[in-house]
Amino acid sequence: MYRISDKNKNTKKVRWVLLEQLPTILSPKMLILVFLYAMAFTLLLLGLRILHFETSLSGTMTTLTSTADHANTSVLYRQESAETIQQGIASRVIRLHVIANSDTAEDQALKLKVRDSIIKNLQSSLSETASVRDARRQIITRIPKIQQKAQETVAGAGYGYPVKVTLGNQYFPVKDYGDLRFPAGNYEALCVRIGSAAGHNWWCVLFPSLCFVDETHAVVPDDSKEKLQDSLSQEEYESLEIHSAACDWITDKLR
C-alpha cells in the first residue's frame, strides 16, 4: 500500500493555510493598496520616459540648429566665393560690346561689319600688350579713331546712323568663347552703340583677345589662353573651363 510521506503532508498543510488566509490577503483594503502602488510605479516609469524623450529631443534640436547654422554659413561663404572669383576675372579682362540699331536683317549685318572693323583695328595693337592696364590705356587712346572707323563703316554701308563709343562697366550674361565660359557679372567693356542701339548685341573678350570674326570655327588662340592664364589665379582660370564643375557651380550661384 502506498504511503504518503511526511514531506508531502507538510506541503499540503502549507497549501491549506494559504488558501485559508487568501480572503484576508485579498481583502479590499489590500487590493486598493496594491492598485495604488502599481499606479505610482507606472507614473514613475512614465515620468522617466518623458524626461528621456525631452532630453533626446533637446539634443536633436541642438544638433539640427547647429547643422542649419553651419549649412547657412557654408552657402553664404560659397556664394561670396563665387562672386569673388567672377570679380577677380573681371578685373583682368576687357570685353567688347557692339549694339545694333535694330533687329532688322540689314541693321544686324551692319553691326557685324562694325564689329569686324573694330577687331581688326585693335587686335594687332593689343596682341603685344601684357597687362589689362596697358590694354585699357591703348583703348582709351584709340577711342576717337575707333569711333571714326566705325562711323566710316556705317556711312560706307549707306547708313546715316550715329555711332557712340565708350569704355565702362557693364553687365554680361554667361557667355562661351571657344572652350572657355565666362560667368555672368559686371565687366569693363568697350561699348559701341550704333544708331538707336535697340537691336540685339554682340560681345567678346577684347583683352586677352578671345574675339572671333568667324564664329563657326571659334577656337581660342593658345597665346591668348596663356595671357589669360598668366593674369588669373589657378582657381579663376580653371573656373572658366567649360567642362569644369567649378564653372557650372559659379554659373548657378550667380544666377
Q: Round the average pLDDT of the chain to a whole number and report it.
A: 78
| Residue-level pLDDT at 43 | 78
Say if residues 255 and 184 touch (Cβ distance below 8 Å): yes
Determine the pLDDT at residue 249. Answer: 52
Residue 239's pLDDT band (cuts 50, 70, 90):
confident
How many whole angstroms separate alpha carbon 210 and alpha carbon 218?
A: 9
pTM metric for this prediction: 0.62
Report the distance separating Cα 252 and Cα 139, nearest Å.
Answer: 33
**pLDDT of res. 49:** 77
Most confident of 42-46, 196-200, 241-245: 196-200
What was the pLDDT predicted at 74? 46
User: pLDDT above 90 covers what percent of the chain?
Assistant: 33
List, in order, residues 6 or more apart from 120 with CB less than 8 Å away. Answer: 213
- Would you state the pLDDT for residue 129? 83
What's the CA gap between 17 and 21, in Å, rounded?
6
Model confidence band, residue 20 (pLDDT cutoffs 50, 70, 90): low
Placement of cell 542649419 in the chain: 68
Q: Which three cell numbers stand for residue 151?
A: 562711323
Contacts of 126 by beta carbon, 8 Å cutoff, 6+ apart: 135, 138, 139, 206, 207, 209
pLDDT grade for 216, boundaries at 50, 70 and 90: very low
**How many whole angstroms separate alpha carbon 135 and alpha carbon 221?**
18
- Residue 2 scores a pLDDT above 70: no
In this prediction, residue 13 carries a pLDDT of 58
Burial of 136 (0-12, 13-18, 19+ CB in 10 A): middle
What cell numbers appear for 12 in the block? Answer: 499540503
Using alpha carbons only, what angle is made at residue 145 by residues 116 and 111, rounded to the nearest 5 degrees?
Answer: 30
d(CA 220, CA 180): 8
Beta strands across the sheet bearing 94-99: 163-172, 185-194, 94-99, 201-207
Q: Are 138 and 126 in contact (CB under 8 A)?
A: yes
pLDDT digit string, tens, across residues 50-109: 777 667 666 666 665 555 555 454 444 444 588 888 999 999 999 999 999 999 999 999
Task: State the pLDDT at residue 189.
Answer: 94
Strand 94-99 vs strand 185-194: parallel, antiparallel, or unpaired?
A: parallel
Q: Residue 108 burial (CB < 10 Å; 0-12/13-18/19+)?
A: middle
Euclidean distance between CA atoms 127 and 135, whole angstroms: 9
Which of 88-97, 211-220, 236-245 bottoms out in mean pLDDT, i.e. has the lowest?
211-220
Cell of 55: 532630453
Distance CA 55, CA 57 (A): 5
Predicted confidence (pLDDT) per residue in 113-151, tens digit: 999 999 888 877 787 788 889 999 999 999 999 999 999
**What span, in angstroms and rounded, lies between the C-alpha atoms of 66 and 60?**
10
